[in-house]
């Protein structure tokens, strides 16, 4: 089945540094990928839609300059949290659709970011 690989699974960084999270579709091409943020015991909040070869579409309230998204190829999208602060600590998860409706969307395993 379709697989989305997300790395790293856990990262701890110092306040003020930047962190890059990668999301790869391993056996299919994804022109669109989605980035979500999930706080403990809460739902997945859509942050942005990543489009291959063009600018990402950000949801209202999401800072574009803080959460940089790059979708340079059909199999890779990256989310960079710039100048991270403790309030950016969260679970970040990406997803992509292989295209067939019955597959739904395949999700990465998520990245737990802790900013200290």
Partner 1 sequence: AQKITQTQPGMFVQEKEAVTLDCTYDTSDPSYGLFWYKQPSSGEMIFLIYQGSYDQQNATEGRYSLNFQKARKSANLVISASQLGDSAMYFCAMREWGFGNEKLTFGTGTRLTIIP
Q: How far is the CB of 65 from partner 1 (least distance, A)?
A: 21
The closest of 18, 106, 9 to 70, measured between CA atoms, is 18
Residue 95, interface with partner 1 (CB under 8 A)? yes
Residue 58, interface with partner 1 (CB under 8 A)? no
Spatial strand order in the sheet of 4-7: 4-7, 19-25, 76-81, 67-73
Rounded Cα distance, 87 and 96, in Å: 26
Q: DSSP code of 28?
A: S
Contacts of 17 (CB under 8 A, 6+ apart): 83, 84
Name the one range near partner 1 by CB under 8 A: 13-21, 29-37, 62-70, 73-81: 29-37
Residue 110, interface with partner 1 (CB under 8 A)? yes
Residue 93, interface with partner 1 (CB under 8 A)? yes
x/- contact string, 67-86, with partner 1 (CB under 8 A)? --------------------
Candidates 42, 63, 73, 83; binder of partner 1 (CB under 8 A) is 42
Q: Determine the length of the chain.
A: 116
| Residues found near partner 1 in the complex (CB under 8 A) | 32, 34, 36, 41-46, 49, 57, 91, 93, 95, 97, 101-107, 109-110, 112
């Amino acid at each position: 089945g379709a697989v989305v690989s997300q790395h790293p699974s856990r990262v701890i960084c110092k306040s003020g540094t930047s962190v890059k999270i990668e999301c790869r579709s391993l056996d299919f091409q994804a022109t669109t990928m989605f980035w979500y943020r999930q706080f403990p015991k809460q739902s997945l909040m859509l942050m942005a839609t990543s489009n291959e070869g063009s600018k990402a579409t950000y949801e209202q309230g999401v800072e574009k300059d803080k959460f940089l998204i790059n979708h340079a190829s059909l199999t890779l999208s990256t989310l960079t949290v710039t100048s991270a602060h403790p309030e950016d600590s969260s679970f970040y998860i990406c997803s992509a659709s292989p295209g067939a409706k019955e597959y739904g969307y395949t999700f990465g395993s998520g990245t737990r970011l802790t900013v200290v």
